Amino acid sequence: MESKKFILQERDIPTAWYNVMAEMPTKPHPMLNPGTKQPLKAEDLYPLFSKEASNQEFNMDDKWIEIPDEVREMYKIWRPTPLVRARGLEKALGTKAHIYFKNESVSPVGSHKLNSAIAQAYYCKKEGVTNITTETGAGQWGAALSMAAKHFGLDLAVYMVKVSYNQKPYRRSIMQTYGAEVIASPSMSTKAGRKIITDHPNYQGSLGTAISEAVELAMSTPNCKYVLGSVLNHVALHQTVIGLEAEKQMEMAGEYPDVVIGCFGGGSNFSGISFPFMRHNFSGDKNTRFIAAEPASCPKLTKGELRYDFGDEAGYTPLIPMYTLGHNFSPANIHAGGLRYHGAGAVVSQLRSEGMIDAVDIPQLETFEAATLFARSEGIIPAPESSHAIAAAIREAKKANEEGTAPVILFNLSGHGLIDMAAYDQYLAGDLTNYEVPDAEIKANTEGLQGLN
Amino acid sequence: MESKKFILQERDIPTAWYNVMAEMPTKPHPMLNPGTKQPLKAEDLYPLFSKEASNQEFNMDDKWIEIPDEVREMYKIWRPTPLVRARGLEKALGTKAHIYFKNESVSPVGSHKLNSAIAQAYYCKKEGVTNITTETGAGQWGAALSMAAKHFGLDLAVYMVKVSYNQKPYRRSIMQTYGAEVIASPSMSTKAGRKIITDHPNYQGSLGTAISEAVELAMSTPNCKYVLGSVLNHVALHQTVIGLEAEKQMEMAGEYPDVVIGCFGGGSNFSGISFPFMRHNFSGDKNTRFIAAEPASCPKLTKGELRYDFGDEAGYTPLIPMYTLGHNFSPANIHAGGLRYHGAGAVVSQLRSEGMIDAVDIPQLETFEAATLFARSEGIIPAPESSHAIAAAIREAKKANEEGTAPVILFNLSGHGLIDMAAYDQYLAGDLTNYEVPDAEIKANTEGLQGLN
């Protein structure tokens, strides 16, 4: 564990986010109105999101978007985050590869999710919003938004998937300690929730249902906006602070990554670590490989179809151009709850379709094996989600060993696993299993979805 | 939450620990052999502890003790830790006081305990030890030592108080993930354990019993040493990296603390933040107040007696000169498990007896009120132990408001509370209570203990 950290000062926190849409060779396809099938404009999202977030969602022109002072001040609570040379892991693997990780787990809520939660809460506050609402699965996003909402004096209602609400009481308590209201979803507080409870009294909830409830609350409540933690372009934008800091830190280390890896759910942390480095690929200066590491049980980038699909299960959202497993796809109950999402965001999907992003899907047991090796060699217990990135980095290092090469590998440690120890408990007891998705299931779920032009 | 962090570079990690015993006006009374009542020497501890730790325990001469390169390399995993100006808390309190905290919660195991765990594991490894053993209550110390032992290739057996073993499975899983063996205490693996189980089949364990088991294992196993996480002089020594870093960071902030506060269990984190600043009191250059914040349910410094007493319940250890509630004192089951210890270390006890350290005892509900205010204003959910320091800092700020003063207050945030959310859950539900210790109980427990000369 002779790790070596590269530490920046507060003045090194980026002053602007990097907007990849301004530079990508082909712009992403537009979101569509599901009724008219017409492309959406920023104004169409104003009823749901803050105006600033809506504008950012459609901004194809500005390469850099200034980070408001109020947001940057709050970033100072934990940013800049360290970049670490994982010498302990390298030694354990007997590799000549140089492995680095960006440690986003040092945030007070334990993950990268705060980077966007703060920005979105700030824009709502600035625009006179008094209430915000969101959904959360395992609770990482809900915890981050709870902290941000409290800071800006916003009331927050979080719809938490019922099975998690009951099984993960610690994450619920974190949100409540920050002062948020947490509602098990489906609930009786919305039409969508009431309908589901009436039809299926024992239904334990899903992210799709929770999104529907939060959206309904936002649309039916004065001065209330909806806030989302991944998938969308403006969320990925806010996360680019990760890669921008890492770029400076790799310079301090005197290296540049040959490979950049992030785990992949909706795309927020993968985009955050990747996009800033990708701009040097766009310019032709570099030729870095970018690898999205997704679960074998939810493999949209490796096995999904590129289609127009809804962002939620109920079909309330606009149609998004995405690699998808189908919005009714029901992922297996793996412990990496943050990766259990059926689709990839529009930008990542476009880049993937052009071959600018690679993807791997990794079985659950391999991710816990990687996580345990990482904990024992680097001292940090990773979140089950982040362990997918670690496993992908280990695969790259092993491949390098076979090939006799020594690449520079950078991955994002998006969060720690200290609130996920029940998962480790099951792993150490031999009680975890792998899940594979049958091709026929993906085919059935994506059949009939509209293709991209 | 406009907090302002003061960030050091790796080169600023101290190269030597500060040994307060070399400079304190009156040396601490010696530990005694309980049989002969003769003062102990370093050699007397060699069978139990590493030689280096034993020598440090008795070192009254060297003001600075070099930190081995191997230890300092491992400190780099998370050190230096940030110093933070708690502007959010200041605003919430409407105070002119400047409040700073040293954030030791950023360690990968979530607390300051690693600072000594790494040093002690290193000395054992260096001296050819192959196995180490310790006890743990809530599990913070056990988690830290598990990580350190794995790094240095030592086998570790942790005796975990049975009630915690069953109630806090997450901390147990953390130790196991790092590769340690965790045994519920009392166990059948030691004579001490077997005797208690035979006499009291349903006994749920205590720190005293767990210490007895660990000591017995160390004494009866070849090449095995015992390691302790608080109370002793060498443990406090290792923790002085906290205060030494904080001193540099206060300089960066252009201020010097009028008050330094740490929560108090056995003394490790309080000593770590305090001793480096105290040396400027010794020299007459400064007149800082030092406040140990202990639970009202375990008030050894505020209500205990200064006596010779055992470090463990069973009476296996040397006699230590300490403020004590009696080694058979049974503290109430508060959530700040790390503060449930009957005595204070020899150095702190000596300094306290000379009036160089103040102490306050704080009811449990006040600590959770402080913790929740801190979480909502600074974004970090503190450990129940650390919340005692926060509550004491808030008392000082409120007093300053009344007096119209603006002191500089520094406290140590020894750990985060993300693995203690069950406690917050109970607090938010109104299910927590205060515990006060009747004076008569303290009197009965300390009667008959030998006084100091």
CB contact at 8 A, B178 and B376:
no
Q: Which residue in chain B is spatially nearest to A148 when comparing CA positions?
A: B379
In whole angstroms, how far apart are CA A328 and each of A202, A206, A209, A336?
Answer: 19, 10, 11, 19
B187: Cα within 13 Å, side-chain hemisphere: 21
Show residues of chain A in contact with B4, CB under 8 Å: 10, 76
Omega prior to A80 cis, within 30 of 0: yes
Within a domain: residue B281? Answer: yes
Show residues of chain A in contact with B175, CB under 8 Å: none
Q: How far apart are alpha carbons A380 and B147 in whole angstroms?
A: 9
Between chains, do A381 and B176 touch, taking CB under 8 Å as contact?
no
Of the ranges A86-100, A262-276, A303-317, which one carries the lowest mean pLDDT score?
A303-317
Which stretch of DSSP H or E encloses residue B259? Answer: strand B259-263
Within a domain: residue A260? Answer: yes
The CA distance from A57 to the nearest CA of chain B, in Å, is 28
Within a domain: residue A390? Answer: yes
Residues 6+ apart with CB under 8 A from B430: none
Q: Which residue in chain A is spatially nearest to B72 when comparing CA positions?
A: A2
Q: How far apart are alpha carbons B256 and B250 in whole angstroms?
A: 6
Q: How far apart are alpha carbons A62 and A233 in whole angstroms?
A: 13
Between chains, do B174 and A108 touch, taking CB under 8 Å as contact?
no
Whether residue A3 is predicted with pLDDT greater than 70 in this model: the reply is no
Band (pLDDT 50/70/90 cuts) for residue A19 is very high
Show residues of chain B in contact with A170, CB under 8 Å: 418-419, 421-422, 425
Between chains, do A77 and B372 touch, taking CB under 8 Å as contact?
no
pLDDT in tens, A174-187: 999 999 999 999 99
How far does Cα B338 stand from its chain's mean position?
Answer: 7
Within a domain: residue A272? Answer: yes
Count Cβ atoms below 10 Å from residue A41 Cβ, excluding itself.
14
Share of chain A above pLDDT 70, in %: 99
- Render the burial of A385-399: b for 16+ CB within 10 Å, e for the rest: bbbbbbbbbbbbbee
Whether residue A118 is predicted with pLDDT greater than 70 in this model: the reply is yes
Whether residue A163 is predicted with pLDDT greater than 90 in this model: the reply is no
The CA distance from A280 to the nearest CA of chain B, in Å, is 29
Show residues of chain B in contact with A139, CB under 8 Å: none
Between chains, do B419 and A418 touch, taking CB under 8 Å as contact?
yes
Between chains, do B173 and A108 touch, taking CB under 8 Å as contact?
no
Residues 6+ apart with CB under 8 A from B25: B282, B354
Cβ-Cβ pairs closer than 8 A, A with B, add up to: 137
Of A106, A177, A421, the CB nearest to B106: A106
Give chain B's largest Cα–Cα span: 62
Q: How far apart are alpha carbons B284 and B276 in whole angstroms?
A: 14
Band (pLDDT 50/70/90 cuts) for residue A273 is very high
Q: How far apart are alpha carbons B226 and A20 in whole angstroms?
A: 56
Closest CA to A415 of A239, A294, A244, A269: A269
The CA distance from A196 to the nearest CA of chain B, in Å, is 29
Extract the tokens encoding A28. 């992403």
Full domain range(s) for residue A252: 4-13+66-110+236-446
- As a whole number, the mean pLDDT across chain A is 94
Res B164: pLDDT: 84
Between chains, do A7 and B2 touch, taking CB under 8 Å as contact?
no
CB contact at 8 A, A246 and A273:
yes
Res B1: pLDDT: 42
The CA distance from A31 to the nearest CA of chain B, in Å, is 35
Between chains, do B381 and A10 touch, taking CB under 8 Å as contact?
no
The CA distance from A1 to the nearest CA of chain B, in Å, is 6
Of B4, B10, B425, the CB nearest to A76: B4
Strand ranges in B274-348 using DSSP code E only, listed in sequence order = 289-295, 305-310, 319-324
More confident residue, A199 or A261: A261
Q: Which residues of chain B have pLDDT under 50?
A: 1-2
The CA distance from A213 to the nearest CA of chain B, in Å, is 25
Between chains, do A428 and B372 touch, taking CB under 8 Å as contact?
no
Res A414: pLDDT: 98
Between chains, do A5 and B77 touch, taking CB under 8 Å as contact?
yes
Between chains, do A418 and B106 touch, taking CB under 8 Å as contact?
no
- The end-to-end CA distance of chain A, in Å, is 51
List, in sequence order, the alpha helices (H) in A127-206.
Answer: 140-151, 162-167, 169-177, 191-199
Show residues of chain B in contact with A150, CB under 8 Å: 376
Show residues of chain A in contact with B147, CB under 8 Å: 379
- Render the burial of A91-117: b for 16+ CB within 10 Å, e for the rest: ebbebebbbbbbbbbbbbbbbbbbbbb
Q: How far apart are alpha carbons B440 and B101 in whole angstroms?
A: 37
Show residues of chain A in contact with B421, CB under 8 Å: 169-171, 173-174, 177, 419
Within a domain: residue B323? Answer: yes
Within a domain: residue B88? Answer: yes
Residues 6+ apart with CB under 8 A from B57: B42, B45, B49, B232, B233, B234
Q: What total of structural domains would you count in chain A? A: 1
Extract the tokens encoding B10. 């790796």
Show residues of chain A in contact with B84, CB under 8 Å: 77
Show residues of chain A in contact with B424, CB under 8 Å: 173-174, 176-177
Angle between helices B233-253 and B268-282 (to 10 degrees): 60
Between chains, do A177 and B108 touch, taking CB under 8 Å as contact?
no
Between chains, do A428 and B381 touch, taking CB under 8 Å as contact?
no
Within a domain: residue B288? Answer: yes
What is the identity of the amino acid at A396?
Answer: E
Within a domain: residue A58? Answer: no
Closest CA to A86 of A70, A74, A97: A97
| Best of B155, B177, B376, B424 to mutate (most A CBs within 10 Å, chain A) | B177
The CA distance from B170 to the nearest CA of chain A, in Å, is 5
Between chains, do A379 and B151 touch, taking CB under 8 Å as contact?
yes
Between chains, do A424 and B173 touch, taking CB under 8 Å as contact?
yes
Show residues of chain A in contact with B178, CB under 8 Å: 375-376, 381
Between chains, do A177 and B147 touch, taking CB under 8 Å as contact?
no
pLDDT in tens, A204-254: 888 888 998 999 999 999 999 999 999 999 999 999 999 999 999 999 999
Between chains, do B428 and A177 touch, taking CB under 8 Å as contact?
yes
Res A1: pLDDT: 42
CATH number at residue A348: 3.40.50.1100
DSSP designation for A29: P
Rounded to an integer, the average pLDDT of A183-208 is 89
Show residues of chain B in contact with A147, CB under 8 Å: 379
Q: How far apart are alpha carbons A270 and A256 in whole angstroms?
A: 18
Residues 6+ apart with CB under 8 A from A61: A22
Res A328: pLDDT: 85
Res B338: pLDDT: 86
Is the ipTM value over 0.90, yes or no?
A: no
Q: Which residue in chain A is spatially nearest to B380 when comparing CA positions?
A: A108
